């Protein structure tokens, strides 16, 4: 008697996974691995060079120098003020882009994100043409209120906010688009006003996106160079932030430039590590 054919059970079904089957799992595609390793080396080796060439024996003394502390203080203050300005203007702007359908919304979104790809020096020139003493708005501010923004600490804040705000807007807009609208609709049916819904429902829903965008915005403002030096200049104690101090020290005292670069590197690594879960859920 020939054995009867039994139906295949669930355990006998071929397993499907994202990994290659059998013997191909252990084979490395060297045509991809080699360029990947070279790419990693290209990005990591310059950072490792900072660590290797850092004057570790005099690091504490150099960090305590008055010009270093002043540049660090000014950077922290201006980056924080720029981030607050971005929050004040960027969150409503992101809400407008995500929730209101108006003519030209795609064009508006494109224009808002231009500073992401615009050379920062060009951004500084654009700010001068608008907010300079002879600019479109700057001449009116100077003649009416006596306010001059270029080459001042306020100018640093404006320049940093200009290049950093798109990071916040993109992050918050993405969070708004991913939020569950049914919760807002339920609050509206209960009689809540638009402001109450935004404050009590929408903001808690998008809080992680706002936090991530805020941190990225602050980090971008802290590292801003091109627009700052073009619009605000490089005056110690008034407009010389950490990136500008690095540029100046590189010409006269390279070891001091390395120390300042290490501070910015540490800040960047800490920020990226804190935001890792926002970008990947992998191990």
Each of the 283 residues of the chain gets a pLDDT tens digit; together they read 444 444 444 444 445 554 554 445 567 777 888 898 999 999 888 888 888 888 887 878 878 888 888 988 999 999 999 999 999 999 999 999 988 888 988 999 999 999 988 999 999 999 999 998 888 999 998 888 888 899 999 999 999 999 999 999 999 999 998 888 888 888 888 888 888 888 888 888 889 889 989 998 998 999 899 999 999 998 988 999 999 988 888 888 888 888 888 888 888 888 777 766 554 444 4
pTM: 0.80
Determine the Cα angle at 84 with ends 79 and 90, to 5°. Answer: 115
Show the tokens assigned to 46.
């310059």
Q: What are phi and psi of 104, to 5 degrees?
A: 80, 20
**88-111 as b/e, with b when 16 or more CB fall inside 10 Å?**
eebbebbbebbeeeeeeeeeebee
Helix residue ranges per DSSP H, the chain = 30-53, 59-63, 66-99, 105-112, 114-117, 120-131, 138-145, 153-178, 181-189, 194-197, 203-205, 207-222, 226-231, 242-252, 254-274, 276-279
**149-176 as b/e, with b when 16 or more CB fall inside 10 Å?**
bbbbbbbbbbbbbbbbbbbbbbbbbbbb
Show the tokens assigned to 151.
């080459």
d(CA 140, CA 132) in angstroms, rounded, equals 10
C-alpha dihedral sign at 85, 86, 90, 91? negative
């Amino acid at each position: 008697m020939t054995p009867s054919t039994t139906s295949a059970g669930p355990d006998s079904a071929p397993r499907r996974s994202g990994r290659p089957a059998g013997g191909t799992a252990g084979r490395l595609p060297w045509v991809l691995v080699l360029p990947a390793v070279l790419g990693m080396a290209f990005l990591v080796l310059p950072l490792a060079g900072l660590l290797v060439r850092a004057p570790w024996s005099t690091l504490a003394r150099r960090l305590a120098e008055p010009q270093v502390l002043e540049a660090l203080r000014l950077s922290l203050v201006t980056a924080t003020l720029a981030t607050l300005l971005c929050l004040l203007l960027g969150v409503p702007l992101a809400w407008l882009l995500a929730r209101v359908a108006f003519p030209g919304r795609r064009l508006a979104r494109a224009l808002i994100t231009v500073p992401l790809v615009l050379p920062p020096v060009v951004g500084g020139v654009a700010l001068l043409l608008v907010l300079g003493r002879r600019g479109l708005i700057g001449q009116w501010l100077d003649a009416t209120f006596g306010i001059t923004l270029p080459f001042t600490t306020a100018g640093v804040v404006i320049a940093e906010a200009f290049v950093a705000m798109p990071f916040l807007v993109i992050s918050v807009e993405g969070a708004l688009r991913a939020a569950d609208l049914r919760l807002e609709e339920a609050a509206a049916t209960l009689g809540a006003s638009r402001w109450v819904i935004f404050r009590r429902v929408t903001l808690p829903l998008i809080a992680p996106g706002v936090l991530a965008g805020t941190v990225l915005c602050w980090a971008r403002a802290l590292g801003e160079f091109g627009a700052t030096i073009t619009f605000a200049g490089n005056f110690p104690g008034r407009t010389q932030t950490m990136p500008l101090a690095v540029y100046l020290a590189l010409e006269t005292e390279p070891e001091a430039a390395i120390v300042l670069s290490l501070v910015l590197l540490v800040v960047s690594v800490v920020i990226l590590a804190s935001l890792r879960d926002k970008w990947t859920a992998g191990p």
